[in-house]
Structure 1
Amino acid sequence: MALMEEQHNNTVPLVSICITTYNHEKYIEECLNSIFLQKFGGLYEIIICNDNSSDHTEAIVQKIMSEHPKGNTIRYFKNVPNLGYVKNTLFSFSKASGKYIAILDGDDSWINDSKLQQQYDFLEANPDFSSVGTDSKVIYEDLPLPSHSFSKHAGQVLTRDHLTDLKICQTSTIFFRKEILREDFPTDIISADRCLYLLAGCFGKLKVLPEQMATYRQFSSSISKNVTYEVMKKDFAIIPFIKKHNPEYSTLKLKTYFYYTLMSYSTVISKSNFYRAGIGYFFYNVLSKFSLNPLKLYSAMKWSRHTIKQKYEIKKQNHSFV
C-alpha cells in the first residue's frame, strides 16, 4: 500500500476529525468547509483517508490544503490499492493523535458550527460517557423523497441495553474517546458504525444530542442499499468481539439485532435465506423478551411475527428475492 501524507504542525490536537472518502469530488469541499466553520476553542486535526478515488477528490483536497488558511490542519493519506470502507475507517483511526475522535464521511457535512465544542464539552464534563452523537438531516441525493430526521433517540442517554436499537445516530455525528478503540476490532465486516456504537457501550454511556448537526446523504447506489445476504452475515463476527470486551452485553439482544439486520438490510436474498434470518430473529427476540406473563409473551411473539411479515412484503415490493 502506497501512502501520501502531507506535513502538519507538531502541536498535539484535542480532537482528530477522521474523514474517509472515495469518489467524493462533488462533496469533499463542502465537507471540509463545514469543519473550518466550527467555533471550537481547542486545536483539531483533519485526517483524510482517500481510498484510491478515481475522480478529482485528491486534487480538490490538495488545493484546499495549499490555499485555505486552515489547510495546514489537514493530514492527507491515499491508499493504493484501496482498502475498502471498514479497513479505511480503522486506518484513519490509527492516524489520529487527539484525545477524541470525530467522524465525518466525505459526502456529508456538519450544519451546526458549535458541534465539536458541544460534544467536547459534554465528554469532558461526563467521564462516565464514552461517546456522544447528535441527530442529523437525511438528504436523498438521487431519489424524490423529502428530507427528514435520522435518529429515533434524539436527546436520549443510551446504555449498552439500548445500543441494539435502530437508528441511534448517524456515523458523521459520532464523537468518542479514542481510548475505547481496540486492536482486535474486526475488519471482515460491513458495519463499522454498528460495531463502533456497541464497542462504545462496553466502556460507558452514549448521549444523543437532540439537534440536527450533520447532513447524511443517501444514494440509491450506496453500499448499504445493495448489500447481499452473504455479506451481511459477516457482521455476526461483531458479537464475540463485543462479548470479549464486555461480557455483560446480552447475547440474546445482540443476536436479535444482527438477525434483524440480516433480514432487513440484505437487498439480494433468496426466500429460504430470508426465512432463516426471520426464524433467527423471531427465536432470539422472543427469548430476549421472555416473560411468564402470557400477555407479554403473546405480545412479543405477535410483534416479532408482524415485523417478519412486514420485512417480507418490503423485499417482495423491491424485487429483492432471487
Structure 2
Amino acid sequence: MDLKTFKTAYEKSPVIEYVNKRAGKEPLATIKVVTYNHAKYIAICLDSLLKQKTNFDFEILIAEDESSDGTREICKEYADKYPDKIRLLLNSRANNIAINGKPSGTFNSVFANFSAKGKYLTTIEGDDYLMDENSLQKRVEFLENNEQFVACFHNTKVIDQETSKEHLVFNYKSDRTIKADDLLKVSIHTASLLYRNNLIKLFDEDMKNIVCGDFILRGKLAEFGAAKFLYDVKPAVYRRHDQGIFSPITLEAKTKLAIDGLQYLMNYYKTKKSNLEIKKNASYLYLSYFVSHLTKEQKIKLNYLKKSLLYGKEVNYSSYQIIKEFLYLKSYRL
C-alpha cells in the first residue's frame, strides 16, 4: 500500500504539516517521534534528540496525534524554535483506527512512516529518550559501513515510573550479531533500533488491527538479514507507566493482541519460500512468554499446540481460548 491508497482508505481529516523552514539536502536519517498525551515527558524526549551530534543531516519528524494535555502546543514551540531540524505532522483524532473497539496510534505512526525522508529510520515514543548524544551517529555510521546488516541497535534502560525500579534489557558486554533467524527472539525497543528504510512494506490492510508493531517490524526485517547490537552506546530510556499502551489493559487483552500479531506474521511468511527458522521462531515467540507460568500438564498441552503451529496450522481464536485457560489471569503480568 502506498501513501495515496492509505490516505484514501483512512484519512478522514487532512494531516497538517506544520510550517517550518527546513532547507538543504535530504536527511540521511529520520528520527520519528510518535506522541499522544506526553506533556510530562515530550520536552525531555525532544531535547535528547536535538543534542544528537552527527556529521550528516537528520530530521526529527514529530507525529502528534491531537493530544488533550498540551503536548501539541509543546511540539509547536519546539518546531518554531528548531525549524532546521524538526518537521511536525499534526494529526486529527478523526483519523484514528480503532483496534478491538479502542483508539490506537496506528494511523499516526503509519502516516509518519510514509512521510519519513531518511535513508535510515528510527522511532521513539514521546515519553522515552536517548541518553547518548552520539547514539544516532554511531548507528548510522555502522549501517553505512556494513551493508550486510539491515539494522542495528543498542541497550535500553527500562524505568518503572511508579516504583522507580530500573533494569537493562541486555546484559551483553560487547558488540553482538543477531542473526536473521534470531531477530524474533530478541526484544528490541524501538528507541534504540535503526534500520534501512527501503526494505519493507510500511503497511498493508491486514495490519490495521495489529498493535504489536515492533514485533512485526523485526519479523519483516529478518527476511533481509541480520542486526548488530552496539555495546559502546549509552542506553535509551523506556518509561513504563500506567499511561502506556499495554500497561492498563488486562492480561486477556494482551494475550489476544499478542496472538493477533503472531497470526499476522505467520500469514505473511506463508508466501515466503526461505527463512524456515524465522517461521518457526514466529510460532514460538509469544506463546513462549507464557510457558514459565504453566503447570507441567499445561506445558505439555502448550508444547503440542506449538508443534502443531510448526507444521502449518494457524493460530485461531479457538487456540486463543485454549491458551487463555492456561494463564493465571490474576497474577501474571507481561
Instruction: Quickly name the TM-score band, shorter chain normalised.
Output: 0.7 to 0.9
3-state SS, counterpart of residue 233 of structure 1: helix
Report the alpha carbon displacement of residue 92 of structure 1 after superposing the two structures with TM: 1.3
3-state SS, counterpart of residue 196 of structure 1: helix
Q: How does 1:273-292 map to 2 (within 5 A)?
A: 279-281=301-303, 283-284=305-306
CA–CA separation in structure 2 for the residues paired with 1:32 and 1:106: 8
Q: How does 1:152-171 map to 2 (within 5 A)?
A: 155-167=175-187, 169-171=188-190
3-state SS, counterpart of residue 16 of structure 2: coil
Report the alpha carbon displacement of residue 165 of structure 1 after superposing the two structures with TM: 1.2
Q: Identify the residue that residue 216 of structure 2 maps to in structure 1.
A: 195
In 2, are the aligned partners of 1:260 and 1:278 still within 8 Å (CA)?
no
Q: How does 1:24-39 map to 2 (within 5 A)?
A: 24-39=38-53
Long gaps (5+) in structure 2? 1-11, 98-103, 311-322
Structure 1 319/201 Cα, relative in aligned 2: closer, same or farther at 3 Å?
closer
Q: Identify the residue that residue 31 of structure 2 maps to in structure 1.
A: 17
Report the alpha carbon displacement of residue 76 of structure 1 after superposing the two structures with TM: 1.1
TM-score, L = length of structure 2: 0.76
Residue 237, structure 1, aligned to residue 237, structure 2: no
Paired AA for residue 87 in structure 2: R
Report the alpha carbon displacement of residue 260 of structure 1 after superposing the two structures with TM: 2.9
For residues 268-315 of structure 1, the C-alpha deviation after alignment (integer angstroms, 9 at most, x for no partner) is xxx9xxx6x984455426997xxxxxxxxxxxxxxxxxxx9xx845x4
Q: Identify the residue that residue 178 of structure 1 maps to in structure 2.
A: 197
CA–CA separation in structure 2 for the residues paired with 1:196 and 1:287: 21
Q: Among residues 36, 56, 59, which one is paired with 2:73 in the alignment?
A: 59
Paired AA for residue 283 in structure 2: K
Aligned residues: 285
Which deviates more from structure 2 when the two are superposed, residues 6-15 or residues 149-158? 149-158
Residue 260, structure 1, aligned to residue 276, structure 2: no
For residues 170-221 of structure 1, the C-alpha deviation after alignment (integer angstroms, 9 at most, x for no partner) is 1111101001121444232111001111111111111111243310001135
3-state SS, counterpart of residue 94 of structure 1: helix
Report the alpha carbon displacement of residue 223 of structure 1 after superposing the two structures with TM: 2.2
In 2, are the aligned partners of 1:149 and 1:212 still within 8 Å (CA)?
no
In 2, are the aligned partners of 1:19 and 1:49 still within 8 Å (CA)?
yes
Report the alpha carbon displacement of residue 253 of structure 1 after superposing the two structures with TM: 2.3
RMSD: 3.0
CA–CA separation in structure 1 for the residues paired with 2:34 and 2:57: 20
CA–CA separation in structure 2 for the residues paired with 1:131 and 1:88: 23
CA–CA separation in structure 1 for the residues paired with 2:273 and 2:189: 23
Structure 1 159/318 Cα, relative in aligned 2: closer, same or farther at 3 Å?
closer
CA–CA separation in structure 1 for the residues paired with 2:307 and 2:172: 20
3-state SS, counterpart of residue 189 of structure 1: coil
For residues 111-130 of structure 1, the C-alpha deviation after alignment (integer angstroms, 9 at most, x for no partner) is 00110110011001110100
Q: Identify the residue that residue 133 of structure 1 maps to in structure 2.
A: 153
Long gaps (5+) in structure 1? 265-270, 289-307
CA–CA separation in structure 2 for the residues paired with 1:216 and 1:255: 27
Q: Among residues 15, 18, 21, which one is paired with 1:6 in the alignment?
A: 18
In 1, are the aligned partners of 2:16 and 2:90 still within 8 Å (CA)?
yes
Paired AA for residue 195 in structure 1: I
Structure 1 vs Structure 2: percent identity of aligned residues? Answer: 24
Structure 1 212/281 Cα, relative in aligned 2: closer, same or farther at 3 Å?
farther
For residues 233-256 of structure 1, the C-alpha deviation after alignment (integer angstroms, 9 at most, x for no partner) is 321112222453563143332111
Which deviates more from structure 2 when the two are superposed, residues 177-186 or residues 94-103? 177-186
3-state SS, counterpart of residue 222 of structure 2: helix
CA–CA separation in structure 2 for the residues paired with 1:279 and 1:190: 27
CA–CA separation in structure 2 for the residues paired with 1:126 and 1:319: 39
Q: Identify the residue that residue 114 of structure 2 maps to in structure 1.
A: 94
Structure 1 198/230 Cα, relative in aligned 2: closer, same or farther at 3 Å?
closer
Q: Among residues 80, 87, 109, which one is paired with 2:92 in the alignment?
A: 80
Report the alpha carbon displacement of residue 46 of structure 1 after superposing the two structures with TM: 1.2
Paired AA for residue 284 in structure 2: T
In 1, are the aligned partners of 2:185 and 2:281 still within 8 Å (CA)?
no
